[in-house]
Every structure is written in C-alpha cells, then in structure tokens.
C-alpha cells in the first residue's frame, strides 16, 4: 500500500514539480560549467625583506605575484594574502584596516601612507614597490622601530594640564564652540609617523628635532583653551632644534594620509615662540564660573 501511495504521489502534481526542479538544476549546472574561467590578473609586488635573526641575511627586495581577481582592493589586502597563502614569514604591522590606528604605515610606490587605505595600482605591467618607513631603524621587513618617535611624543606631555590642584576626573572643563574648532585638523592625527619620516630635517636631526607629527600634537595642547600650561609647553620648545629645524619643505603636509597640515601647525608654534601670536583668553571659563 505504501509503494502504491508513493507511486501515485510521484505521478501527480508533486511529481511534476520534482521533475521540473531536476531539469532546472541540470540546466544551471550545465550553464555554470560552460562559463569560461576568468583569466588571472597577476600583479607583482616587490617588497623589502630583512630578518636580523637570519644569519647572513641582508636587506633585499623580494617579488610576489598576487591574482587581483581573488584579492581585495587595498595594499593591505595584498600583504595579508601574501602572508596567508604564499609566505608566512613576511612581517608587517596592521590592526584596524580602516585608517584609524596608523599601524600599517609604510612607503608604497615612493609615498609614505597607510596600506589599509592605499588602493592597489591595477597596472599589471608595473610592480608595486613597498618599503618600511624611510630613515628609521628596521626591526624586520616592513616593521620600523618607533621607540624614538614615541619618546618624542611623550616629551611634549600630551595631556590636559592645569594648576587648579584638582585630581583628574574630578571636574568637567568647559570649552566654547569657537575654542573647540581651533582643535580641528589637529586631534585627528593618528601618530602613524608618515609625515615625520617624509621630512629631510627629521632624517638629519631625528634625535633632536621633534618632527611634524609631534609638533602638531604639541600645538594641539598649547592652544587648547582648557590647558593652563601653555607657557611651560613653549619653554620646553625654546632651543635651536626642537622646532626650528623645520625648513618648510612641506613633505609632511603632502604625504599625510589623513589630509592634515602639520606644516601649518609648526608655523603657528613658531609664531607663538617669537611672540608674533598669542594664545588668547578662553571664550568660556573652563570651570563654568561667571
């Protein structure tokens, strides 16, 4: 009885539907099989390599080929594909993948930028050259030593300072809209060091000259209407090297991946140091008193 019922079911509408689905499935499979396999779009990447732990290893360029059909659009996508599928020994920094953290800064095609927001040049006849940030000690491959850079950043004491004796967090400090606007184009810096390592003055005097990134952050705190230590901050910059090694070459502004203008910030610091400009009084009492 069960066999007869099944045969009747298959001979009815349900059976017709099953047969139609089978025909469609076969047609789809045939169409898929007939589609030509896309031709590979092989792009060459010439990448700086050096491993200090490998005896006898010297800095050299190594070329890899990546199929752009199976790769994301950014340089970081290509680097990750190389590391994951071709050469796991390739070393570089990366984190956010969206131009916020500054970890993947490197020199790509002769320009200091971020690998995560730098699009791959789709010209297959030209290899893309990738180096670590220039004129910095290299730890391995595309990883520069950032210790000196961060020490310089720490030297400017990049935090809000006041002489009211209150513990940090005990008081909310107010700021007018106009005073807040003065910080635009400064606080967005992600400390990727693209600007500083593009500056010839920083190449020559990196031990004494603070460089564009750090000086822009120094200016950010000097002009903050809530900060009461602007004069002390300026005093720490009054020497022949910290600021005045800047010769307005402006490589810093040209290369900044965030579109900021460190050169202008340095010029403003010079004006404050020379007395041409003054910080001015806050538009709103930070303590909220009348």
CB 255 within 8 A of CB 113: yes
Distance set, CA 116 to CA 92, 103, 249, 266, 277 (Å): 12, 9, 27, 28, 39
Q: How confident is the model at residue 14 (pLDDT cuts 50, 70, 90)?
A: low
In sequence order, what are the beta bridge partners of 143? 140
Residue ranges of domains in the chain, CATH in brackets: 42-144 (3.10.20.30), 146-274 (1.10.1060.10)
Distance set, CA 136 to CA 62, 140, 146 (Å): 20, 12, 8
- Report which secondary-structure segment, H or E, holds 267: helix 262-274
What is the C-alpha separation between 250 and 254, in angstroms, rounded? 7
Residue 26: pLDDT over 80: no
Residue 75: pLDDT over 60: yes
pLDDT one-digit tens code per residue, 196-255: 999 999 999 999 999 999 999 999 999 999 999 999 999 999 999 999 999 999 999 999
pLDDT one-digit tens code per residue, 227-240: 999 999 999 999 99
CB 116 within 8 A of CB 97: yes
pTM for the predicted model, two decimal places: 0.85
Averaged pLDDT of the chain: 92
- Chain Cα centroid distance, residue 14: 59
In sequence order, what are the beta bridge partners of 60? 49
Residue where the block lists tokens 């066999």:
3
CB 242 within 8 A of CB 209: yes
Distance set, CA 37 to CA 32, 33, 44, 196, 234 (Å): 10, 9, 21, 46, 65
């Amino acid at each position: 009885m069960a066999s007869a019922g099944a045969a009747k079911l298959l001979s009815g509408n349900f059976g017709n539907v099953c047969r139609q689905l089978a025909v469609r499935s076969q047609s789809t499979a045939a169409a898929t099989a007939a589609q030509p396999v896309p031709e590979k779009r092989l792009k060459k990447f010439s990448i700086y390599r050096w491993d200090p732990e490998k005896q006898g290893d010297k800095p050299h360029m190594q070329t890899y080929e990546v199929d752009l059909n199976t790769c994301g659009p950014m340089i970081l996508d290509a680097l990750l594909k190389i590391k994951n599928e071709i050469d796991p020994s390739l070393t570089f920094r990366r984190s956010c993948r969206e131009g916020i953290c500054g970890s993947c800064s490197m020199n790509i095609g002769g320009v200091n930028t971020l690998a995560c927001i730098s699009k791959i040049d789709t010209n297959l006849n030209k290899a893309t050259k990738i180096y670590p940030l220039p004129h910095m000690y290299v730890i391995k491959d595309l990883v520069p030593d950032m210790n000196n850079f961060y020490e310089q950043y720490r030297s400017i004491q990049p935090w809000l300072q006041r002489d009211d004796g209150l513990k940090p967090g005990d008081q909310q400090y107010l700021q007018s809209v106009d005073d807040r606007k003065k910080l635009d184009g400064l606080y967005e810096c992600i400390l990727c060091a693209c600007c500083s390592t593009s500056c010839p003055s920083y190449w020559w005097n990196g031990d004494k000259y603070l460089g564009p990134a750090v000086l822009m952050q120094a200016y950010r705190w000097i002009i903050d209407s809530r900060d009461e230590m602007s004069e002390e901050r300026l005093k720490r910059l009054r020497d022949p090297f910290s600021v005045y090694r800047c010769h307005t070459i402006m490589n810093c502004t040209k290369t900044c991946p965030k579109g900021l203008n460190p050169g202008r910030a340095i010029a403003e610091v010079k004006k404050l140091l020379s007395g041409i400009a003054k910080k001015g009084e806050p538009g709103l009492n930070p303590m909220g008193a009348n």
